[in-house]
Amino acid sequence: MSTPIASAETSAEKLQQIDHIRMAVRQLCSKFGEEYWLDMDRTLGYPTDFVQELTKAGFLGVLIPEQYGGSGLGVLEAAAVMEEVCRSGAHAGVCHAQMYVMGSVLRHGTDDQKAAYLPKIANGELRLQSFGVTEPTTGSNTTSLKTVAKRDGDEYVINGQKVWISRIEHSDLMVLLARTMDRDKVTKKTDGLSAFIIDVKAAEGNGLEIRPIESMINHHSCELFFDDLRIPAENLLGQEGKGFKVILDGMNAERILIAAECVGDGRYFIEKATDYAKERVVFDRPIGQNQGVQFPIARAYTQVEAASLMVEKAANLFDSGLPCGAEANMAKMLASEASWQAGDTCMQTHGGFAFAKEYHIERKFRETRLYQIAPISTNLILSFVAEHVLDMPRSY
Ligand SMILES: Cc1cc2nc3c(=O)[nH]c(=O)nc-3n(C[C@H](O)[C@H](O)[C@H](O)COP(=O)(O)OP(=O)(O)OC[C@H]3O[C@@H](n4cnc5c(N)ncnc54)[C@H](O)[C@@H]3O)c2cc1C
């Protein structure tokens, strides 16, 4: 597949606008220092005040069109926001989904749904930052998911289970993917799934049970149990049976934004490693004078810069309305590997001090590791590229 070059380039005017966005985000993030994030990590807290400030400043509504109260900008600008958040030492995973889950409503919702939800998402009155897709028994094999939504008059009745659903306790709404037709009755395996808007607060205790998962990072992920949860039929998002398409569009944006977060993490690690290599003196000279210390940092820098170009390319394609599945996936893979490499290098550069929580590196190291697994694992990306770009035989 060849990509039109013009659409993958960013104009000088746009770059200038993005620079302004970056500066403003940096300024906001500087009010929430690394001690703040360490405290959140230690106490498993949720950074409500940080998220509120980001919302108030309009940064989480970047992708919402102006007519619905957002900034009407693109994924390229949104990526700059997320990159800067991560570069500051913050954990963007606490709120990134507020930016992109709404894409399912924007692109597939009815006029009434858009009018009801988007302005309130833009001003923060409603938090739509949960995507309910993954299930414990089917994992990466999304199209075989088993949670069922059965039509009953003016309602759907939902039964099943989800796992690792992030931020649900800090969301008012969730976009849920459930089966509305048995898998053996559909001709295309992506058919028979439908997307729904779930009012989380109304559902909890009335057919939805939420159980937090204790995990390696403070990502607020939960298990969900649906037991005859009844929702209004009007909460169907897009066409019944075509829900896979509804979430797929949102997934490309998610992959690009998470890739941008990894670039931010990578830059954070490289800055820390470089500063420390220059100031730490052992054997009567800065450790950064040794090529054995310099080279891994220079390599990590090179890898992050390369990944950043793929993020930009994918974002420009997305914003031009062009196919970007391959680029979004490749950006996510390259950036998550680059940030991990940068994190590992930063750990090594700091020696024993890397393990001290007060240096903040080990927290970011744990956080950035997630992105080789979620929202899609590296093997699944390689498989996508092999099959859909390189036209090799299907492996599953
Ligand atoms: C902290 C966290 C937050 C998350 N948040 C959300 C969320 O908000 N919403 C949501 O829906 N999900 C969420 N997830 C789930 C995440 O998307 C999945 O964990 C991820 O897609 C991988 O699925 P799995 O864990 O079931 O792994 P599995 O599918 O069991 O795969 C395990 C390993 O086997 C490999 N593998 C599997 N099949 C193949 C194959 N055919 N070829 C080669 N390799 C293969 C995979 O690459 C992977 O490395 C989250 C996960 C975590 C850990």
Q: Which regions of the chain does DSSP assign to beta strands (E)?
A: 128-132, 148-152, 155-166, 173-179, 193-199, 208-212, 221-232, 236-237, 281-282, 285-286
Specify if 19 maps to a domain: yes
pLDDT at 66 (0 to 100): 98
Question: If you measure from the C-alpha of residue 175 to the centroid of ligand 1, how many angstroms do you get, rounded to a whole number?
Answer: 18
CA 225 to chain centre: 23
Q: Are residues 367 and 285 in the same domain?
A: yes
Q: Judge if 226 and 293 occupy the same domain.
A: no
| Band of pLDDT at residue 7, cut at 50, 70 and 90 | low
Domain boundary among 92, 122, 152: 122
When pLDDT is averaged across residues 356-375 and rounded to a whole number, the result is 98
Please indicate whether residue 131, judged by its CB atom, sits closer than 6 Å to ligand 1. yes
pLDDT above 80 (res 229): yes
**Paired sense of beta strands 173-179 and 236-237, if any:** unpaired
- CA 200, 63, 191, 259 dihedral sign is negative
| Mean pLDDT, all residues of the chain | 96
**Residue 353 tokens, joined:** 């001090």
Let me know how long the chain is: 396
Which atom of ligand 1 lies at the shortest distance from residue 130's CA? 8
Question: How far apart are the CA of 325 and the centre of ligand 1, in A?
Answer: 18
With a 6 A CB cut-off, is 140 part of the ligand 1 pocket? yes
Residues 175, 250 share a domain: no
Choose the residue to mutate in 138, 218, 377 for probing ligand 1, maximizing ligand atoms within 8 Å of C-beta: 377
User: Is the pLDDT confidence value at 288 over 90?
Assistant: yes
| Residue 145 to residue 138: CA distance in whole angstroms | 6
376 plus 286 within the same structural domain: yes
Shared-domain flag, residues 114 and 237: no
Residue-level pLDDT at 277? 98
230: alpha, beta or left? (left if phi > 0; alpha if psi -120 to 50): beta
Same domain? For 280 and 183 the reply is no
- Burial class from Cβ neighbours inside 10 Å (0-12, 13-18, 19+) for residue 154 reads exposed
Q: Above 50 in pLDDT, residue 57?
A: yes
147 lines ligand 1 (CB under 6 A): no
What is the predicted pLDDT for the residue at 6? 47
> Do residues 293 and 376 both lie within one domain?
yes
Distance 30 CA to ligand 1 centre (A): 33
Is pLDDT above 50 for 311? yes
Would the pLDDT of 2 be above 80? no
Say whether pLDDT at 4 is over 90.
no
pLDDT of 143 over the 60 cut = yes
Question: Which residue's CA is minimally distant from atom 19 of ligand 1?
Answer: 374
Checking if the pLDDT of 279 tops 60, the result is yes
Domain enclosing residue 221, as ranges: 128-242
383 and 343 in a single domain? The answer is yes
- pLDDT attached to residue 351: 98
Domain membership of residue 396 (yes or no) is no
Give a yes or no: residue 394 inside a domain. no
pLDDT of res. 10: 87
Q: Give the number of domains in the chain.
A: 3
**Distance from C-alpha of 112 to C-alpha of 94, rounded to nearest angstrom:** 29
Q: Does ligand 1 come within 6 angstroms of the Cβ of 371?
A: no
Q: How far is the CA of 68 from the centre of ligand 1 (A)?
A: 34
- Ligand 1 site-directed mutation target among 91, 96, 134, 244, most atoms within 8 Å of CB: 134
Burial of 119 (0-12, 13-18, 19+ CB in 10 A): middle
Round to whole Å and give the CA distance between 186 and 176.
20
222: tokens are: 């939960």
Ligand 1 pocket: which of 129, 367, 373 to mutate (most atoms within 8 A of CB): 373
CA 324–ligand 1 middle distance (angstroms): 21
* pLDDT on residue 364: 98
| Whether residues 166 and 261 fall in one domain | no
User: Is ligand 1 within 6 A of the CB of residue 376?
Assistant: yes
Q: Which atom of ligand 1 is nearest to the CA of 140?
A: 29
Looking up residue 33, the CATH number of its domain turns out to be: 1.10.540.10
Give 77 Cα–ligand 1 centroid separation in angstroms: 28
Is the confidence at residue 5, as pLDDT, over 70? no
Whether 254 and 371 map to the same domain: the answer is: yes
pTM score: 0.96
CATH number at residue 214: 2.40.110.10
Considering the domain architecture, whether residues 364 and 266 belong to the same structural domain is answered as yes
At which of 107, 122, 137 does a domain end? 122
Rg of the chain over Cα atoms, rounded to whole angstroms, equals 21
Ranking 6-15, 172-181, 218-227, 337-346 by mean pLDDT, the lowest is 6-15
Same domain for 257 and 325, yes or no, is yes
Question: Is residue 395 situated within a structural domain?
Answer: no
- What are 170-211's pLDDT values in tens digits? 999 999 999 999 999 999 999 999 999 999 999 999 999 999
Cβ count near 322 (within 10 Å): 13
| Average pLDDT of the segment spanning 51-61 | 97
pLDDT attached to residue 8: 64
Question: DSSP secondary-structure letter at 393?
Answer: P
> Cβ(38)–Cβ(47) under 8 Å?
no
Quick: pLDDT tens for 323-334: 999 999 999 999
Q: Is 164 in the pocket of ligand 1 (CB under 6 A)?
A: yes
Does 165 contact ligand 1 (Cβ within 6 A)?
yes
- DSSP assignment letter at 181: S
Q: Domain ends where: 242, 261, 278?
A: 242
Whether 237 has a pLDDT exceeding 80, the answer reads: yes
How far apart, in whole angstroms, are the C-alpha atoms of residue 266 and residue 373?
Answer: 17
- Within 8 A by CB and 6+ apart from 194, the residues are 149, 177, 178, 179, 180, 236, 237, 238, 239, 240, 241, 242, 243
Both tokens of 63, joined, read: 């992708």
Confidence of residue 81 (pLDDT cuts 50, 70, 90): very high
**Any domain includes 251:** yes
| Cα dihedral 230→203→119→169 (10° resolution) | -150
User: What CATH number is attached to the domain comprising 339?
Assistant: 1.20.140.10
Give the whole-angstrom CA distance, residue 271 versus residue 7.
Answer: 31
* 1 assigned to some structural domain: no
Distance 375 CA to ligand 1 centre (A): 7
Q: Is the peptide bond before 375 cis (omega within 30 degrees of 0)?
A: yes
